[in-house]
Chains A and B, each alone.
Chain A
Amino acid sequence: MTASAVPAVATVSRRRGSRPRIDRIGLLVEIWLRTHTSLVYAFLYLPIVIVVVFSFNANRLATIWTGFSLDWYGKALGDDVVTSALRNSFSVALPNAVLATTFGTMAALGLQRVPKRVRLGFDALTYISIIVPEIVIALSTLVLFASTFGIINDATGLRLQLGIPTIVAAHMLFNISIVLLLVRARLSGMDRTLVEASYDLYASPWRTFRQITFPQLLPAIVAGFLLSFTFSFDDYVITSFVSGPGSSTLPIFIFGQVKRGVSPETNAVATMMLVVTLALLAIGQLALSRNARRSGGGQAGGMAGMIAEQR
């Protein structure tokens, strides 16, 4: 343990004789590890910082810095296309997160009680939803919607078309899987003795669930909800293929802008998106680490720890 606490001293070679010798290579390895780590973090944050900084750029060309300005935020918020995309983004992400979290949690609870055959079937489907590339799911879902809507519209005279409901339905597939995995991981790590104690004390199943199981699952449910919302809010690939006229979301707006050349307004919209999703991450991180402190133990590292472990 002392070795990991004092890395430079730990790299003492004991190969030749009893006299320890400070190992030059060991020292170089330590320096290299440190430098590498710092550079990778710089690499990870550079693009994010660039977008935020250039959203305050006075110049009309997004790529050359001339001075500070808030004009682009005013312009973006005054743009009907942007505000309607913002509205659509929330109309997709919120129902998606609520429904996916509910269905995913329900399935995680239900799967404890089903025969093994059914559970394996579910696992296989969850696995498939991970293994099949997003673009394939997006295009095949589009084909499914287009074909069935065509048949239904011809047969009944209805005018079903792509729009916000189809985006929500398509996003929910992925998010149900995410919530299911998170809640199941929590369930399997749960302390069963509490549930048994509750039954021994003649608590009803509902009361046991409400007072024992649910509070223990809550961190996973909160994390699942926030992940689902963010996935949906940020998603471009699936959204763009199953959206219809008038249901453009912020990522679709940004992609269109980028294709025509990045403008400072694009950066302003992007920065507002970053603020929304990072605020959610901060809320999750605070709520979950407080919960972990209160219940003692729990998920170390809050939500970030949970996401890192799940991946």
Chain B
Amino acid sequence: MAEPTASAEPAGGRRSLSALLTTALVFPAGLWYLVLLVAPLVIVTVFSFGNRAKNGGYEAAFTFDNYTRLLSQPQRMEPFFTSLWMAVAGTIGCLLVGLPLAYFIATRARRRKGLLILLLVIPFWTSFLIRTYSWLIILGRENLGGFIGAIIGDPDFRILGNPPAVLLGLIYGYLPLMVFPLYVTLERMDRTLVEASKDLGAARWATFRQVTLPIALPGLITGSILVFIPMTGEYVIPAILGYGRTFLMGNALVDAFIQTRNWPFGSAMAVLLIIVMLLVITVYVWFVNRGRHGREVSVI
């Protein structure tokens, strides 16, 4: 527990008062990180190699059973794949909606820039739960859901409880997280580069692809990761808009930890989820960075 604080001491005792002050400043935050971040993750990792106790919970053991059971049963892996494709689709959706928006605010809004950013921060600041459940009203059969059903002539048409509703909720919920970093990079962009490109006769699309997009890339990566991570582990949106039927990793984890109280199995899922997410992010960053010699973009 004293790990970060002990190493904070300088070599000599000459400035011991100053070292004491530094330790005191850093200690509470370090304690919180160790007890409420490191310890839970270590416990989950240890538990993932254990057995389920008879009436639920954890029984000490060292076995790979949880992992083999997870990886060998396709229906256990299904939430992983649902989560991953949903998160990928949601990230692409946020990008398609967010990039033109960020581009507009950064290059066209001029004096209204501050106002438009404030208008993006307000929904972001507003309760996630409230913004999500409101779609129950909007997409319900009495409103938009029934309306679409009437148009396509299918009285049994439903959006709620199905993947499209969950995907819509994901894009809606996390859009600001994509727009902020994109806006910041585009805002700092040197507009004369675009002018130069046009002066040199480059077509609009070529200018966008070869000038604007590479400049926006760091924001694009940060934004993608900022939305991809919470989407992969999302619990509230599928529980509300998917009626719990669109079963994502978050729902599977809650099911294992709370309903069946199989902590070791749930722990194995949690560990696997973190590993898969780190892999996806690493591959994504590598893919985007390839060919950008010496101008690598860091993950966060």
Write the residues of chain A forming the contact surface with B, with a CB cutoff of 8 angstroms: 1, 3-5, 7, 14-15, 25-26, 29-30, 32-34, 36-37, 40-41, 43-48, 50-51, 54, 61-64, 102-104, 106-107, 109-111, 113-115, 117-118, 121-122, 125, 127-137, 139-144, 146-147, 169-170, 172-173, 176, 180, 230, 233-234, 236-237, 241, 251, 254-255, 258-259, 262, 266, 270, 273-274, 277-278, 281, 285, 300-305, 307-311
Q: In the bound complex, do residue B235 and residue A14 qualify as a contact, i.e. CB atoms below 8 Å apart?
A: no
Given contacts A114-B8, A135-B250, A140 and B125 within 8 Å (CB-CB) = no
Taken together as a complex, chains A and B put the C-alpha atoms of A129 and B29 apart, in Å, by 13
Interface of B is mostly: helix
In the bound complex, do residue A46 and residue B8 qualify as a contact, i.e. CB atoms below 8 Å apart?
Answer: no
Q: B195 near A136 (CB under 8 angstroms)?
A: no
Contact among B29, B38, B263 with A104 in the assembled complex (CB-CB below 8 Å): B29
Q: Is the CB of B110 within 8 A of A5?
A: yes
Interface string of B251-274 (1 = CB under 8 A from A): 001100110000100110010011
**For A115, what are the chain B residues with a Cβ–Cβ distance below 8 Å?**
7-8, 10
**Knowing A143-B44, A305-B117 touch, does A7 contact B127 (C-beta < 8 A)?**
no
Contact across chains for B204 and A118 when beta carbons are under 8 A apart: no
The interface residues of chain B lying within 8 Å CB-to-CB of A127 are 300
CB B212 to nearest CB in A, in angstroms, measures 12
Return the 6 tightest CB-CB contacts between A and B, nearest first: A133-B233, A110-B25, A47-B134, A107-B29, A140-B40, A311-B180
Question: B117 and A136: CB pair below 8 A?
Answer: no
In Å, the complex CA distance between A270 and B52 comes to 40
Is B199's CB under 8 angstroms from A14's CB? yes
Q: Which residue of A lies closest to B40 (CB)?
A: A140
The answer to whether B32 touches A147, judged by C-beta atoms less than 8 angstroms apart, is: no
Do the beta carbons of A136 and B233 come within 8 Å of each other? yes
B40: chain A residues within 8 A (beta carbon): 137, 140-141, 143-144
Name the segment of B69-77, B97-105, B149-157 touching the other chain: B97-105
With the chains together, A259 CA to B133 CA distance in Å?
10
A172 in contact with B32 (CB, 8 Å): yes
Cα A176 to Cα B37 in complex, Å, equals: 12
Q: In the complex, are the beta carbons of B36 and A170 less than 8 A apart?
A: yes
List A contacts of B123 (CB < 8 A): 44-45, 48
Q: Which of B103-157 contact A (CB under 8 A)?
A: 103-105, 107-108, 110, 113-114, 116-138, 140, 142-143
Residues of B within 8 A of A310 (CB): 180
B43 touches A144 (CB 8 A): yes
Contact A307 B25 (CB under 8 A): no
Within 8 A of A (CB), among B168-190: 172, 175-177, 180-181, 183-184
> Contact at B180–A141, with CB atoms within 8 Å?
no
